[in-house]
Amino acid sequence: MADSNHYYVRPVAGVWHVTWNDSPELISSCPSQHEAVALAQLLARHMTSQGRYAEVHIAEPEARRPTWGRKGLAGAAAAAA
């Protein structure tokens, strides 16, 4: 198991965190999912070239809805209509 590396890409409060082997230590915080995934894949390719197993796990993006000028329930009701 020492030769196994797992990189996790997760959305956290509007940014994307890259962590290693489910550790609480943060490798990087990226503004976009694409950037975070690219970093995790780069690290995984490096580990693979060293003869180690590496895998990237990507979480689903947070569900977001546009709020362009709408406030609270009135905005949600207007969107549903």
Give the 3-state secondary structure of 26-44: EEEEECCHHHHHHHHHHHH
Contacts of 38 (CB under 8 A, 6+ apart): none
* pLDDT above 80: residue 14: yes
Structural domains of the chain sorted by starting position, each given as residue range(s) with its CATH number in brackets: 4-63 (3.30.2390)
What pLDDT does 36 receive? Answer: 94
The CA-to-CA distance between both ends of the chain, in Å, stands at 54
What pLDDT does 70 receive? Answer: 54
* pLDDT above 60: residue 16: yes
Task: Give the tens place of pLDDT for each residue, 17-75.
Answer: 999 987 888 999 999 999 999 999 999 999 999 999 999 999 987 666 666 555 555 55
- Under the banding of pLDDT at 50, 70 and 90, the label for residue 3 is confident
